[in-house]
Amino acid sequence: MENKEKKLYTKAGDKGLTALTPAAQVSKADERIAAIGGVEEVISALGMVRVVTTCPIYRGKLERIMKTLRTLSKGLADARSGRYAFSEEEISFLEQDMDKMLSKMPEGVMDDYLPGGCEQSARLDVAYTTTRACERAVVAMDRRYAAPELFKQYINRLSDYLLVSARYSDHLNGQKPADAPATPDAPAIPAASVTPTVESVVSQVMARLGGAASMDLGRAKKLIAAVEQRALETGKQAVIAVVNAAGNPVAVHVMDGTFLVSYEVAVKKAYTAVAVKMPTMELNKLVQPGGTFYGLQSLDGMVTFGGGVPITVGGVIVGGLGVSGGTGEEDHALCQYGLSVFESL
């Protein structure tokens, strides 16, 4: 049998026509095609932000937005069917997150600024202006083909969200408004710190601890031994993992009788606790639909149920503990015990 080579190009659009739906061929100059192309440009611009952000929580938010835009794009192509819809919760999510960012920024940050305070904010500014252009294309389409009201609202709110996100990134990076006087006693954080290396993160933690290692093998093994003893006393079998402040595994111990999958889950729990700076038991409440971190649960490497806790010394995270073997509540209880004895080890 002859194998036919698959090709990406079909030559069907060489005459300036394209398929809006399987049953509708339209001109590539059609307002609907311009609006759909605008949404695709926004998704690509957000991808440029996603690739540089080091915060898994914010990356999860970007992915949630990109998925909503995918649905919106399909809806613009087939607006009358009503098959491609999303909840008003997506708009509420943008508004609530904007309010939180604005509450943490000083006055003047939104009034006067120069793009390029840091790489992430610069990419967000590009995404913001791309979204504004997309909104104009959707409004132009609406005049002739009636775009759904929720779609127009979402694009409008998204442009505001991206502008606030850009200024918030500058704020976290120490960037001041364009007309703010320089303050030698409070130097700006270099833009490169937005994408820190593992070594730089560890160095900062060690400096704050007066040179103490974030989590060495000896202490990790003692912590694991203490948690294992507690598990035995309570009739539990578990995999116990300890990671350092950068989220990298230091030691993993597998008790007899544990599930094969528990090894990977324990390591991910410890990593997640360090990445989001909170116990995974608490995180579970925040990733439910409408929650602050909704969408984070879909990220690779993240676990959002009980059994992971950050380990702190003097208010500074020095590592994470992950336990997997029982229910989320049982694993969390073993982690809590580990934290209670850690300082004495």
Sign of CA dihedral 104, 188, 272, 51: positive
Amino acid 179: pLDDT: 47
- Taking only Cα atoms into account, the Rg of the chain, rounded to an integer number of angstroms, comes to 25
Q: Which of 98, 149, 97, 56 is nearest to 290 (CA)?
A: 97
Amino acid 25: pLDDT: 64
Amino acid 194: pLDDT: 41
Amino acid 33: pLDDT: 87
Residue 332: is it exposed, middle or buried by C-beta count within 10 angstroms (0-12/13-18/19+)?
buried
Residue 292: is it exposed, middle or buried by C-beta count within 10 angstroms (0-12/13-18/19+)?
middle
Structure tokens at 180: 């703010």
- Cβ of 12: how many Cβ atoms within 10 Å? 10
Amino acid 176: pLDDT: 53
Amino acid 116: pLDDT: 84
Amino acid 28: pLDDT: 74
Q: What is the 3-state secondary structure (H, E, C) of 217-248?
A: HHHHHHHHHHHHHHHHHCCCCCEEEEEECCCC
* Residue pair 27/15 in contact by the 8 Å Cβ criterion: no
pTM given for the model: 0.51
| Cα distances (angstroms) measured from residue 79 to each of 33, 145, 152 | 13, 9, 12
| Cα distances (angstroms) measured from residue 241 to each of 73, 109, 319 | 43, 42, 11
Amino acid 187: pLDDT: 34
Q: What residue ranges define each of the domains in the chain, with the CATH number in brackets?
A: 17-172 (1.20.1200.10), 217-342 (3.30.450.150)
Beta bridge partners of 308: 322
pLDDT tens for the 345 residues of the chain, in order? 455 566 666 565 555 666 666 556 667 778 888 899 999 999 999 999 998 887 888 888 999 999 999 999 888 887 666 677 788 899 999 999 999 999 988 887 787 778 888 899 999 999 999 999 999 999 998 888 888 889 999 999 999 999 999 999 888 876 555 544 444 433 333 333 344 444 444 444 444 443 344 689 999 999 999 999 999 999 999 999 999 988 899 999 999 999 999 999 999 999 999 989 999 999 988 888 877 777 777 777 889 999 999 999 877 889 999 999 999 999 999 999 999 999 888
**What's the rounded Cα separation, in Å, for the pair 334 and 52?**
36
